[in-house]
Structure 1
């Protein structure tokens, strides 16, 4: 295990991603960074050689390397062996979208902490990484999807958002809803907090994209 002792109380983990498919690697990074998660992506590279080069620099060495198992040239198992030979405290999590080319015992012997399906959800990634790093706060992390946040909005907050989506100003929304501008702002600030945004533009963009209203 990595991350014990002084790192066990950390509420985040720094990771590096290795996948030769740029579309997959970008999708993975977006999954961890587009919405708030406790995973910070330090780098995202296309080959094991690039990962080795970066990890040679202590400042660029993450807590955990998330690597594809099937890659041309150096595959995930070989990368794991070479990383741990040079950096014994590093954790490695393998990813696969296909049937494994190695047995579970072969991957454990190489030093790989676990293997996850590429299509796994964000929460599964975070909690598995938390287990490998022995960080309880990551193990306890739960994904609050936008659908979940939508259920948390009150009827009044939803109605205020709906008026903003119509293009109304705060003053116009207050008149339509028969409340003060201050009350409208309070409802909007509560909605922003629940949606984890900081402006009307962000809230509208998310509502349109996710069909929240």
Structure 2
């Protein structure tokens, strides 16, 4: 997608000191990137990413934004476009945000203090590769876009998502098709009553990865939590 020499990068963070420092460090350590803008509000970041004239190739999204939080920023951008790679950044627990952010279309979630690693991830994404980091999506930008579009259309058509399962707006075939093969495998094991640790051992992945798969599957199935997700999964098997 890119020639590996130059790409546009932007940031949204509610701390002006963080924005200033990260801009300086990125400009120093990442000559391939041009920081085209920074902002402090999630709504502003969404608007700029959805405008062709200000759309970056890579957006760094602070997870703990005030007002519209980082997860919602990722979701609103990914629902509308596959042209922006999203890197969630935080100074708090990565595990706290990872599952929701990845389910909302982010490509990875990283420690805000590890600027060099964030730069490496940005270069990888700008060149069509997945970054080598702990909390990373197993889906391409395009694949993470598809289920969110289906979800948005369901809500627009009057289907209930949160609070009442799939509702009348989502067919079983659409819900199942939205899940990746690994998410289906995890849901099958969850339905057997296995714990995240047991599933991780069976699939040779970390327990945190299992929780990420469950959270993604839950969102696609219109469930609020693991228990509801399992219930919806079992209903779809009938």
Would the TM-score normalized by the shorter structure come out above 0.5?
Answer: yes
Write the mapping of 1:46-65 to structure 2, written as runs, cut at 5 A: 46-65=40-59
- 93-102 or 106-115, which moves further after superposition? 93-102
Mapped partners of 1:11, 1:116: distance in 2: 23
Q: Is the 8 A contact 1:10 1:135 kept in 2?
A: no
The root-mean-square deviation of aligned C-alpha atoms, in Å, is: 2.3
Alpha-carbon distance in structure 1 between the residues aligned to 2:97 and 2:115: 24
Select which of 119, 123, 130 maps to 2:123: 130
**Partners in 1 of 2:9 and 2:51 — Cα distance?**
14
Aligned to 1:152: none
Query: TM-score, normalised on structure 2?
Result: 0.50
Provide structure 2 residue ranges, at least 5 long, that are not aligned to the other structure.
Answer: 133-238
Residue 84 (1) aligns with residue 84 (2): no
Question: 1:86 Cα shift?
Answer: 1.6
| SS class of match (1:111) | coil
- C-alpha offsets along residues 62-82 of structure 1, whole Å, 9 cap, x if unaligned? 001101001111111100000
Which has the higher relative contact order, 1 or 2, with Cα contacts under 8 A spaced 6 or more apart? 1
The 1:86–1:135 alpha-carbon spacing in structure 2 relative to 1, beyond 3 Å, is closer
State the Cα deviation string for residues 69-128 of structure 1 (Å, max 9, x = none).
Answer: 011111111000001112123210010101147453332211110111111133x22211
Q: Normalization by structure 1: what TM-score?
A: 0.56
Counting matched residue pairs gives 131
Task: Kindly provide the CA deviation profile for residues 160-199 of structure 1, in whole angstroms up to 9, marking residues without a partner as x.
Answer: xxxxxxxxxxxxxxxxxxxxxxxxxxxxxxxxxxxxxxxx
Kindly report structure 1 stretches of 4+ aligned residues shifted beyond 6 Å.
none
